[in-house]
Amino acid sequence: MTRIIQHFVPHFEERHQKVQALILHCSAHTPEEMLKVLDEKKLSAHYIIGENGEIWQTVSEKNKAWHAGISHWREIDGLNDYSIGIELSSPAMGQKEYTKKQIDSAVGLCRTIISHYQIPACNVVGHSDIAPTRRPDPGKAFPWQYFASKGIGLWYDINDAEKISINEVEELLRIIGYDTTNLNAAAYAFCRHFVADSVAENSDIEQLMTEIYPKDFEFPHVYLPVLKACAYRYRR
């Protein structure tokens, strides 16, 4: 795995829960810029990965970094205490392809973390999955299917759609793990993760960060088999 540069920051707390999740993020900054932005906002992540593949560790894994914010996934609320957070540099906020060096470093780091904490595949998710009304990262270009092929997270087999009889979008999203309080936001986050072609690219990064999902978004019925296949893989 790539050598890790240690540059610890003061924005963390003592962890009180077992690590059960791995959260992937992105930011439209270089690692150096990201450190300044996080410091200004009194935030942090355990790791930052630059476009050149460099890995920076900024918080010890034994501590709780401030990366997830108000969040929910499956049975967990407030994922900071339960998770490791990784930030990837992405000028396009995950809307353009990540670099090979960056992905290679991320794969190696994720596999090490997952193995150490025995994190279940269903709990390897993006910031947009756990906070669908607030965050769009790691973006539509994040290669979730490739990561799943490396043992990081889950992907679907479309043939599994026939193995689950449920057809209600909200119930299927809840089975996967989404907070469906805002159903449109949860459905759009699902599309970002699993049917990225259905998500529009936005070159205005500032707007992307404030208009996280289309307020009138309705889940396209054509993708119901994908949603069902995912629910089958994620069900408890």
Show which residues are catalytic.
87
Instruction: Please say whether the beta carbons of 138 and 94 come within 8 A.
Output: yes
Could you tell me the two tokens for 37? 């932005």
Q: What is residue 65's three-state secondary structure?
A: strand
Alpha carbon dihedral 181, 148, 58, 208, in 10-degree steps, equals -50
| HSE value, Cβ hemisphere, 13 Å, CA-based, for 35 | 16
Residue linked to tokens 């997952």: 114
CA distance 31 to 6: 12
Backbone φ and ψ for 17, nearest 5 degrees, come out as: -125, 160
CA distance 233 to 229: 7
| HSE value, Cβ hemisphere, 13 Å, CA-based, for 24 | 30
Burial of 108 (0-12, 13-18, 19+ CB in 10 A): middle
Q: Give the C-alpha distances (Å, rounded to integers) separating 223 from 158, 161, 182, 197, 208.
A: 10, 11, 19, 11, 23
